[in-house]
């Protein structure tokens, strides 16, 4: 590729960015790589590995999935409008990657919350296994809706309380000071 | 247990010999479930040890799991088949990925707490792959999330490796006490006043009960009226003395408090000014300072208020109890027996009440910031016609405040109901038993009963105090610890003990293999080498985030590189005295800072004794003279916080004038024209053109046109020098620089401006 082509390419990319570039089951095929990632073939162009990002991780985790190049620049290749429009197997492949990227265990049971010196120490059971974590007393619990919480711990790990109403009253009382 | 040894044992059981160089913990399996696994690196093999799903987390996330209960499953990867290891940043935690036979392979995943450790493994692995020898420094384990060695809990604050539950409170107490030693006589006075107040407080029930009712009104005295008058005088005297000593104590406290706080804060500020820039960029400076002020008040309040009260309250408590037992042991026993439950109720319910207050405070704060948001953004709200939805939003926030307030009031009422029932119960029971003893067996007199009731209620003050005392103590010690921490921090950039001061600086700057990272494992600059000969201009080009600003910060020693050296006229900057270095290196950056003061003071910042002529000359040089004189107050205009606000270009030119006045041999321009309009840019460029004459200049710029005069250009990408040469050479090379240059000239010509 000579330098003129490089320039032409960069210009074209700049123009392309003005439109949503859709990835659908008609123009793209996703495949699992031997290394445990996913790759994609889009309109005949093969990407040995791609990254997938959610654009609305909290409110709509299944729509507008951004597919990006694997390097640190992570240039966007295109957007998947809705995961549910894809084949089941493809969807599952992508979901594995997404779940990894946005690892957010859902808290099922709250065993203990201890508060000391401005920090709270949690002992919980999540859908991904038992866990103990620590949060600062203020600013670490975000309320996404009336019944849904996201808790961020001191290591920037996230935990979700999907539905406050499903907790027992004892558990609720332990959370009382955060909501 | 030594984890490396433990891992080596399992590895050799699997037939892999040799010492473990480093290891990391990975707590997530392929299905994103918590698991227990390790990644270990020996001299020639990377090994993944998998122990299965997490059944029970015994430690907090982040604390190392220094035990392997069962034989792990091993996956081995010989180093010579591996390439390009990297830790991929996920939104949560990371993933260890390495190229095996050209295929990117996922090795393991882990949550946020283990990132630092895994980066360390990744670093060492890439050094091994490149076949480099490892130094001691390389193998030093990173300071990841720390955990308390005593209790196993994580340090809540990364930057403060202190476990609030286990810290040595005694030593903090002693060191902070040193601040009050100069006021020991004052303190003794405070103590004395409180003791006297306590003694008088003990007198009061006796006077108002036994003496008044039994002795005086009992009618057994001959001169009943005289006695009555005397008693009333004694009672009035007691109260008066109590008040008097209270006032003296208040005066004494007022004498010590501001002085001790002042001393503490100035010590902290003094320590802070010596700290390197890293300390400030790791924390929020503003928050830090207000914190220090609060902390100092907290500590001082504890020492001169709570501590003396501790003595007086103890005295009241012991004294009251003793007197009660002397008077009547049965009633005393009853009164004392009821204190522990009251105390427990108080100690249990109090913290919760505080949390409710905290919650109300937080909701109020949210509401306030929302109101503020709305008022400042009123124009946008109106323009988009969103008044109604804003009302909704406000309604939600205000109903949160209402709920918090109601919850608080509800709890507050409960609390007081329970508390006063428990408290009054004690008094009622004492009255009951007392009445029986007075009427039934005549064992005690009515006066004694009154006295007793008085004593029972005077126990309440100390009790409330004691139930709060622990919390106050903990808060004060924590605050004291924070203060000491700043005072104790060793600046990580220190002046050489025998610094060299160069009399005459030529301005040769040279960087040799400079490698630097802010956090261990994330290398920002990688073996940078270049020379900037005296008087020449060196241009530094690269994308934002490539490490350009970091590079120039190293020259003025705002940070020190991890390896490699930076020399000025052949002398390592680490050996130069700070004054020599800072006098000769000046920086004009995109972040200009204007201090509170006049324009003249701001220009003369680096040279406080500058004459008017020098200041005006510098301003003319920086093309700032014109706009300064046009302001009504000229060079005496107050600027900075609270003063007149300046435009970006004006601030920039003042900071250039500052650099001119400093007259440095080495000038660093960090995007000096980044945020100004074209006309101002031209003015600034003109100013800079005059400024660079006869100085070594290192100039960072996005707009390559500003670098056209540079004698040498280096192009940085991802922390490495990818190209260097003169403008013409780089254009001929048709590489990265050429690409950027072409793009910019095209963009400019599109806008009708010639590059």
Residue A91, pLDDT score: 92
Check pLDDT > 60 for residue B65.
no
Determine the distance from the C-alpha atom of residue B70 to the mean position of all C-alpha atoms in its chain, rounded to a whole number: 42
pLDDT tens string B635-651: 998 887 767 788 888 88
- pLDDT tier at B164 (50, 70, 90 boundaries)? low
Mean pLDDT of B408-434: 84
B602–chain A nearest CA distance, Å: 38
Q: Which residue has the higher pLDDT, B456 or B350?
A: B456
- pLDDT tier at B57 (50, 70, 90 boundaries)? low
Give dist(CA B646, CA B660) in Å, integer.
20
B62 to chain A: nearest residue by CA? Answer: A155
Contact flag A103-B32 (C-beta cutoff 8 Å): yes
Chain A residues lying within 8 Å of B103, measured CB to CB: 33-35, 48
Q: What's B142's DSSP letter?
A: P
Which of A100, A172, A175, A177 best tests the B interface by mutation, with the highest count of B CBs <10 A?
A100
Q: Is A136 on the interface with B (CB under 8 A)?
A: yes
Q: Which two tokens stand for residue A50?
A: 């791609």
Chain A residues lying within 8 Å of B106, measured CB to CB: 35-37
Contact flag B355-A177 (C-beta cutoff 8 Å): yes
Q: Is A99 on the interface with B (CB under 8 A)?
A: yes
Query: Crossing angle for the helix pair B648-662 and B612-621, nearest 10 degrees?
Result: 120
A108–chain B nearest CA distance, Å: 14
Chain B residues lying within 8 Å of A57, measured CB to CB: 91
Contact flag B103-A34 (C-beta cutoff 8 Å): yes
CATH (one of 1.10.1740.10, 3.40.50.300, 3.90.920.20, 2.60.40.10) for B509-750: 3.40.50.300
Q: Is A9 on the interface with B (CB under 8 A)?
A: no
Among the partner residues A10, A49, A155, nearest to B62 by beta-carbon distance: A155
Q: What is the ipTM of this complex?
A: 0.87
Give the number of residues written for chain A: 179
Give the number of residues written for chain B: 755
Mean pLDDT of B161-181: 75
Least confident of A147-161, B669-683, B716-730: B669-683
Contact flag A155-B32 (C-beta cutoff 8 Å): no
Q: Is B30 on the interface with A (CB under 8 A)?
A: yes
B357–chain A nearest CA distance, Å: 10
A155–chain B nearest CA distance, Å: 5
Residue A136 β-bridge partners? A119
Residue B217, pLDDT score: 75
Q: Is A10 on the interface with B (CB under 8 A)?
A: yes
Radius of gyration from C-alpha coordinates of chain B: 36
Note which residues in 146-165 of chain A have CB less than 8 A from chain B. Answer: 153-158
B572–chain A nearest CA distance, Å: 35
Q: Which of B146-150, B218-222, B646-650 has the highest mean pLDDT?
A: B646-650
Q: Which two tokens stand for residue B612?
A: 């008017």
Check pLDDT > 90 for residue B406.
yes
A72–chain B nearest CA distance, Å: 9
Q: Is A128 on the interface with B (CB under 8 A)?
A: yes
Buried residues in B472-507 as b, exposed as e (16+ CB within 10 A): bbebbbbbbbbbbbbeeeeeebebeeeeeebeebbb
Q: Is A2 exposed, middle or buried (0-12, 13-18, 19+ CB in 10 A)?
A: exposed
Among the partner residues A7, A105, A119, nearest to B156 by beta-carbon distance: A119
Least confident of B166-175, B233-242, B521-530: B166-175
Q: Is A142 on the interface with B (CB under 8 A)?
A: no
Q: Which residue has the higher pLDDT, A34 or B355?
A: A34
Specify the pairing of strand A45-54 against strand A38-42. Answer: antiparallel
Give dist(CA B430, CA B423) in Å, integer.
11
pLDDT tens string B121-142: 888 888 888 887 777 767 776 6
Chain A residues lying within 8 Å of B60, measured CB to CB: 121, 132-134
pLDDT tens string A68-93: 988 877 788 889 999 999 889 999 99
Contact flag A133-B61 (C-beta cutoff 8 Å): yes
Measured CA to CA in angstroms, residue B627 lies from B620, B655, B674 at distances of 10, 14, 20
- pLDDT tier at B117 (50, 70, 90 boundaries)? confident
Q: Is B245 exposed, middle or buried (0-12, 13-18, 19+ CB in 10 A)?
A: buried
Which of B57, B162, B393 best tests the A interface by mutation, with the highest count of A CBs <10 A?
B57
Mean pLDDT of B533-547: 85
Side-chain-side CA neighbours of residue B681 (13 Å): 13
Least confident of B152-156, B460-464, B492-496: B152-156
B500–chain A nearest CA distance, Å: 43
pLDDT tens string B646-704: 888 888 888 888 888 888 888 888 887 766 677 777 877 777 887 788 889 888 887 77
Among the partner residues A10, A49, A117, nearest to B104 by beta-carbon distance: A49
Which of B29, B104, B400 best tests the A interface by mutation, with the highest count of A CBs <10 A?
B104
Give dist(CA B171, CA B480) in Å, integer.
10
B1-10 contact pairs (CB < 8 A, 24+): B1/B66, B1/B67, B3/B64, B3/B66, B6/B66, B6/B67, B6/B68, B7/B38, B7/B40, B7/B49, B7/B68, B10/B49, B10/B68, B10/B71, B10/B72, B10/B74
Task: Outline which parts of chain B fall under CATH 1.20.1560.10.
Answer: 171-328+444-487
Contact flag B156-A36 (C-beta cutoff 8 Å): no
Q: Are residues B731 and B738 in contact, defined by beta-carbon separation less than 8 angstroms?
A: yes
Check pLDDT > 60 for residue B63.
no
Helix, strand, coil percentages in chain B from 3-state DSSP, rounded to 5: 55, 15, 25
Give domain B3-139's CATH architecture: Roll (2.30)
Check pLDDT > 70 for residue B522.
no
Among the partner residues A36, A104, A132, nearest to B60 by beta-carbon distance: A132
Least confident of A155-164, B283-292, B479-488: B283-292
pLDDT tens string B592-642: 788 888 899 888 888 888 899 999 988 888 888 888 988 888 899 888 776
Q: What is the mean pLDDT of chain A?
A: 84
Check pLDDT > 60 for residue A6.
no
Mean pLDDT of B495-501: 83
Q: What is the mean pLDDT of chain B?
A: 81
Local structure of A125: helix, strand or coil? strand
Mean pLDDT of A161-169: 88
Task: Outline which parts of chain B fall under CATH 3.40.50.300.
Answer: 509-750
Note which residues in 673-692 of chain B have CB less than 8 A from chain A. Answer: none
> What is the maximum alpha-carbon separation in chain A?
69
Chain B residues lying within 8 Å of A10, measured CB to CB: 739, 743
Check pLDDT > 70 for residue B289.
no
Q: Tell me the backbone φ, ψ of residue B627, rounded to 5 degrees.
A: -70, -30
Give dist(CA B203, CA B199) in Å, integer.
6
A96 to chain B: nearest residue by CA? Answer: B31
CATH (one of 1.10.340.30, 1.10.8.10, 1.20.1560.10, 3.20.20.70) for B171-328+444-487: 1.20.1560.10
Task: Outline which parts of chain B fall under CATH 2.30.29.30.
Answer: 3-139
Q: Are residues B321 and B333 in contact, defined by beta-carbon separation less than 8 angstroms?
A: no
Residue B13, pLDDT score: 82
pLDDT tens string B293-336: 888 888 888 888 888 888 888 888 888 888 888 888 888 888 88
Domain ranges of chain A: 3-101, 107-178
Residue B157, pLDDT score: 61
A136–chain B nearest CA distance, Å: 7
Share of chain A above pLDDT 70, in %: 88
Overall pTM surpassing 0.90 (yes/no) = no
Check pLDDT > 50 for residue B755.
no
Side-chain-side CA neighbours of residue B443 (13 Å): 12
Q: Are residues B112 and B99 in contact, defined by beta-carbon separation less than 8 angstroms?
A: no
- pLDDT tier at A1 (50, 70, 90 boundaries)? very low
Q: Is B353 on the interface with A (CB under 8 A)?
A: no
B143–chain A nearest CA distance, Å: 14
Residue A3, pLDDT score: 47
Chain A residues lying within 8 Å of B61, measured CB to CB: 131-134, 153, 155, 157
Among the partner residues A121, A129, A134, nearest to B54 by beta-carbon distance: A129
Contact flag B34-A57 (C-beta cutoff 8 Å): no
Give dist(CA A78, CA A66) in Å, integer.
6
Chain B residues lying within 8 Å of A129, measured CB to CB: 33-35, 53-55, 57
Residue A159, pLDDT score: 93
- pLDDT tier at B561 (50, 70, 90 boundaries)? confident
- pLDDT tier at B748 (50, 70, 90 boundaries)? low
Contact flag A157-B743 (C-beta cutoff 8 Å): no
Check pLDDT > 50 for residue B284.
yes
Contact flag B34-A134 (C-beta cutoff 8 Å): no
A30–chain B nearest CA distance, Å: 16
Q: Tell me the backbone φ, ψ of residue B654, rounded to 5 degrees.
A: -65, -40
Check pLDDT > 90 for residue B374.
no
- pLDDT tier at A40 (50, 70, 90 boundaries)? very high
Give dist(CA B390, CA B385) in Å, integer.
10
Contact flag B743-A10 (C-beta cutoff 8 Å): yes
Check pLDDT > 80 for residue A160.
yes
């Amino acid at each position: 590729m000579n330098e003129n082509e490089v320039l032409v390419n960069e210009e074209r990319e700049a123009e392309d960015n003005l439109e949503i570039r859709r990835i659908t089951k008609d123009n793209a095929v996703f495949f699992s790589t031997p290394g445990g990632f996913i790759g994609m073939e889009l309109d005949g162009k093969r990407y040995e590995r791609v990254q997938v990002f959610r654009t609305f991780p909290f409110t709509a985790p299944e729509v507008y999935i951004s597919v990006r190049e694997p390097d640190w620049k992570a240039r966007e290749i295109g957007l998947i409008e809705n995961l549910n429009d894809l084949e089941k197997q493809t969807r599952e492949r992508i979901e594995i990657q997404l779940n990894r990227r946005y690892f957010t265990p859902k808290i099922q049971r709250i065993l203990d919350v201890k508060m000391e010196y401005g920090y709270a120490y949690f002992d919980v059971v999540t859908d991904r296994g038992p866990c103990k974590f620590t949060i600062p007393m203020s600013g670490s619990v975000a309320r996404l809706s009336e019944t849904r919480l996201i808790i961020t711990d001191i290591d920037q790990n996230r935990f979700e309380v999907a539905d406050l109403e499903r907790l027992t009253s004892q558990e609720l009382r332990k959370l009382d000071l955060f909501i | 247990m030594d984890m490396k040894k433990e891992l080596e044992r399992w590895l050799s059981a699997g037939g892999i010999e040799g010492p473990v160089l480093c290891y990391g913990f990975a707590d997530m399996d392929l299905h994103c479930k918590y698991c227990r696994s390790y990644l270990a690196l020996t001299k020639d093999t990377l090994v993944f040890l998998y122990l299965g799903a997490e059944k029970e987390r015994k430690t907090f996330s982040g604390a190392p799991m220094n035990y392997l209960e069962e034989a792990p499953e091993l996956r081995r990867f010989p180093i010579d088949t591996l390439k390009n290891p990297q830790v991929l940043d996920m939104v949560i935690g990371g993933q260890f990925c390495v190229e095996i036979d050209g295929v990117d392979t996922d090795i393991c995943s882990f949550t946020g707490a283990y990132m630092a450790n895994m980066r360390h493994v990744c670093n060492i692995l890439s050094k091994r792959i490149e076949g480099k020898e490892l130094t001691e420094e390389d193998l030093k384990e990173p300071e990841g999330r720390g955990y308390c060695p005593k209790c196993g809990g994580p340090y809540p604050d990364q930057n403060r490796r202190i476990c609030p539950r286990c810290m040595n409170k005694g030593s903090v107490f002693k060191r902070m006490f040193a601040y009050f030693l100069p006021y020991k006589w004052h303190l003794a006075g405070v103590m004395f006043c409180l003791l006297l107040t306590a003694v008088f407080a003990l007198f009061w029930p006796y006077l108002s009960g036994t003496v008044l009712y039994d002795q005086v009104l009992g009618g057994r005295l001959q001169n009943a009226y005289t006695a009555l008058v005397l008693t009333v005088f004694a009672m009035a005297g007691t109260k008066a003395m109590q008040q008097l000593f209270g006032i003296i104590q208040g005066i004494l406290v007022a004498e010590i408090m501001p002085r001790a706080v002042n001393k503490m804060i100035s010590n902290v500020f003094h320590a802070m000014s010596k700290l390197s820039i890293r300390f400030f960029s790791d924390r929020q400076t503003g928050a830090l300072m207000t914190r220090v002020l609060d902390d100092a008040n907290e500590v001082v309040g504890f020492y001169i208020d709570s501590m003396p009260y501790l003595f007086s309250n103890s005295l009241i408590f012991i004294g009251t109890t003793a007197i009660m037992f002397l008077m009547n042991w049965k009633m005393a026993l009853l009164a004392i027996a009821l204190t522990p439950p009251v105390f427990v109720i108080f100690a249990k319910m109090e913290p919760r009440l505080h949390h409710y207050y905290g919650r109300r405070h937080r909701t109020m704060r949210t509401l306030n910031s929302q109101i503020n948001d709305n008022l400042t953004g009123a124009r946008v709200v109106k323009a988009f016609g969103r008044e109604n939805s804003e009302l909704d939003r406000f309604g939600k926030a205000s109903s949160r405040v209402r709920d918090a307030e109601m919850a608080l009031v509800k709890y507050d009422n409960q609390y007081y109901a329970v508390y006063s029932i428990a408290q009054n119960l004690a008094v009622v029971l004492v009255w009951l038993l007392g009445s029986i003893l007075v009427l039934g067996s005549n064992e005690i007199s009515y006066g004694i009963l009154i006295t007793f009731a008085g004593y029972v209620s005077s126990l309440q003050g100390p009790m409330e105090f004691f139930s709060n005392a622990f919390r106050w103590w903990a808060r004060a010690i924590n605050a004291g610890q924070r203060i000491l921490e700043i005072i104790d921090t060793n600046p990580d950039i220190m002046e050489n003990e025998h610094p060299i001061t160069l009399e005459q600086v030529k301005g040769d700057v040279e960087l040799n293999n400079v490698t630097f990272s802010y956090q261990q494992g994330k290398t920002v600059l990688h073996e940078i080498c270049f020379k900037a000969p005296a008087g020449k201009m060196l241009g530094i080009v690269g994308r934002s985030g490539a490490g350009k600003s970091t590079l120039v910060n190293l020259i003025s020693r705002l940070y020190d590189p991890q390896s490699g050296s930076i020399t000025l006229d052949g002398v390592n900057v680490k050996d130069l005295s700070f004054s020599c270095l800072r006098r000769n290196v000046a920086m004009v950056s995109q972040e200009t800072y204007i201090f509170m003061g006049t324009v003249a003071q701001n220009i003369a910042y680096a040279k406080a004794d500058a004459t008017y002529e020098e200041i005006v000359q510098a301003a003319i040089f920086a093309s700032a003279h014109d706009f300064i004189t046009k302001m009504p107050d000229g060079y005496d205009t107050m600027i900075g916080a609270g003063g007149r606000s300046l435009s970006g270009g004006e601030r920039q030119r003042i900071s250039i004038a500052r650099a001119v006045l400093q007259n440095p041999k080495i000038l660093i321009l960090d995007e000096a024209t980044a945020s100004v309009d074209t006309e101002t840019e031209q003015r600034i460029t003109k100013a800079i053109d005059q400024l660079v004459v006869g100085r070594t200049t290192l100039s960072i710029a996005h707009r390559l046109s500003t670098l056209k005069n540079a004698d040498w250009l280096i192009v940085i990408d991802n922390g490495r020098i990818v190209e260097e040469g003169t403008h013409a050479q780089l254009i001929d090379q048709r590489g990265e620089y050429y690409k950027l240059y072409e793009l910019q000239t095209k963009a400019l010509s599109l806008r009708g401006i010639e590059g």
